[in-house]
Structure 1
């Protein structure tokens, strides 16, 4: 008998998408409804493909939401599954543990939730499948839950459902329910349906272990294709995992080398070429894009001085390419000034003396201390500058060398051009 099921996690229903709402050109309706629409499309796919069941491995909700419409939406989608004869197995993770909806709403009969008290095993007798799992009782669950999971049932296809960061955690994810890959393999299950980490990851060894990633990216920190996985199991009990791309709005980070650009128009054209390439795959999925300009640029200083105009150039390219499918999250400047050699052609002795003076500033401790204090006062008033000018972080930490390296070539070049 062939078995097929969908494994999803980290849906975060009605969680806001961050980073676009402040912009006039932001797709407000799509931002508000993206997590719902992605989940609706997943359920539609489950029904169309006639899967045997659906697993949700934690963080269905996004904390203690006061609006029960989120839970009512989930009940309605589970009702669609029930009418199609498909069961859903739901494990609650760190965000669900604090949700009123987790405790208060009665779900349709086809939904089976894992207990938060002890590991619970749900058996689908006609399919010879056993699902083992334990929900989070509280958000800060830092114990190793795997140690309490039941032994696999003989002659069944055994699935472990777990919300975890694995041993040591993943960057950007709290270290909840830590355990090791070796512990998961040693349990003897055929498949581990994990949640919590928002990036797709698959290990195939004694057990097949999978993070499907989150269903819908919610900020520029979650770029690229997002979705769930379809798992197909044949008579040999070997799971075959296929990625399902469900996201309805995708975040992308585009790197544009502007080393050969000598004007804002040229920068806009170079950016446009990259944006066109972005739409060559999954063109129907709208993109929220961060554009990072990099390279050793002859107009490095001009780019920083004319940021609003630069953004307008990029927006003009988007308007010409696909305004209904591309939205600009931010233009980030990461260019470097061109290295300039100072000689008589660039101003002779005066520029050489200025270069020497700035170079000596590295060794003047009194001057450096005064500069540090001035910069720290400036950064306290404008902390966002740290994100826009990376060299300032070193300055804040006491290293003015990086700042001088950025300032010196551009300053000398600008003064030299005035001769």
Structure 2
């Protein structure tokens, strides 16, 4: 017996983070979740699976655009013509969806009830599927404790949308523990809600397949479902299948050995080539974060946009149809020896002393806050919500801002001073 276990399709959910950029793949962003569902059905037909399981969050909340549901019906119709049923459990996003309650689905789509656990017994396959859909979005009860005992002589599958234990990255809907799932006596638990792949083995096999298509840069790397093959003795073998149409990547580029922006740019270009070596047919949306204590920190200070342009030049040479840039972030620190600067007894050491004193000077801090507030008040509210440092300025907490800016400023000025010194030496020669 073979089946595919998928979850968290979030059909027609928007992909966020690229739309503001002129080189963004607008058409692929709009259709990515639909294209991923089509690819999933393609895989089910290719593998000639016995059935498909969707463990929650097929839809994406309160939308009332029935074209989303009609598209799902079209894809399920393809399975219907091949004689493949789909067992669908509704999760927290489905529970608030108009389509979940009102849209008629093809007769090969079997949905688990929301009032109590429901079992689908399929004797011709020797399988029983147990599930309990969400009736309300805010379902915080442990649903797993009410699932029925396993059906004797069947391969028992528990379908459950759950945060499981200790998963802080996701809302704690239908929480339960791994040992509770093992104790239920099923052979396989098909879970949903957590968007990262995870698997546990033991008395039973427990799997989160992850979501089908990453929707933002926080959902990085390969995405898809799992193909489960059950042998004659009832042992499941789990194989990941990668379905994503557009993949998000977060590349951390270590600039520790770099001495200039040109060298940092070269490292970024190599990182792009490396990421494209895996699944080269899948386009990527990439965030680059440059890290490390580096001699290049002074050159990079305040020049994210220039470095972004360098990264875009690398992407242009690799092919804009394969790679898009979401953002470039600088998280470097200087190789700055502040004690050595202090001992120089020159204007640069005086500047360091002034910067150090300014951090604790209440009059300077008040003046700086006043100047910054004239800028902050012009920033749109939706932007302010994503920049915690702006709220720190509002509260008068400028110490962390100064601590972050001062080393970079000193490193930048040190770089400029050294550059000027070398130029003067050259003129003297």
Q: TM-score, normalised by structure 2?
A: 0.88
Which residue number in structure 1 is paired with residue 133 of structure 2? 135
**1:40 alignment counterpart:** 38
SS in 2 for 1:296: strand
Give 1:340 shift.
Answer: 3.9
* Contact 1:169-1:178 within 8 A present in 2 as well: no
Q: Distance in 2 between matches of 1:306 and 1:406?
A: 11
Secondary structure of 2:124's aligned partner:
helix
SS at match of 1:131: strand
**Aligned-pair CA distance for 1:316:** 1.0
Structure 1: unaligned runs, 5 residues or longer: none
Cα distance in 2, alignment partners of residues 370 and 317 from structure 1:
42
1:76-155 to 2 correspondences below 5 Å: 76-155=74-153
Q: Which one of 220, 226, 231 corresponds to residue 228 of structure 2?
A: 231
After superposition, the C-alpha distances for 1:290-321 in whole angstroms (9 at most, x for unaligned) are 11112234443443443333222111111111
| Residue aligned with 1:10, SS | coil
How many positions carry a matched residue from both structures? Answer: 416
Aligned partners of 1:132 and 1:158 also within 8 Å: yes
Q: What corresponds to 2:329 in structure 1?
A: 332
Partner of 1:200: 197
Deviation at 1:257, TM superposition (A): 2.3
Task: Give the drift of 1:105.
Answer: 1.4
Unaligned stretches of 5+ residues in structure 2: 422-429
Match of 1:165 among 163, 166, 182: 163
The farther-off stretch of 309-318 and 297-306 is 297-306
| CA shift in 2, pair 1:210/1:402, >3 Å | same
Distance 1:70 1:415 in 2: 60
SS of 1:19's partner is coil
Q: Counterpart in 2 of 1:284?
A: 281
Change (3 A) 1:392 1:117: closer
Corresponding position: 1:352 with 2:354: no
Are residue 61 (structure 1) and residue 51 (structure 2) matched?
Answer: no
Instruction: Assess if the C-alpha contact under 8 Å between 1:13 and 1:62 holds in 2.
Output: yes
Is the 1:59–1:93 Cα contact (8 Å) retained in structure 2?
yes
SS in 2 for 1:351: helix
How far, CA to CA, are the matches of 2:191 and 2:370 in structure 1?
A: 48
Q: CA RMSD in A?
A: 2.8
Question: In the aligned structure 2, how far is the partner of 1:224 from the partner of 1:327?
Answer: 15
**1:133 CA drift (Å):** 0.5
The 1:242–1:329 alpha-carbon spacing in structure 2 relative to 1, beyond 3 Å, is same
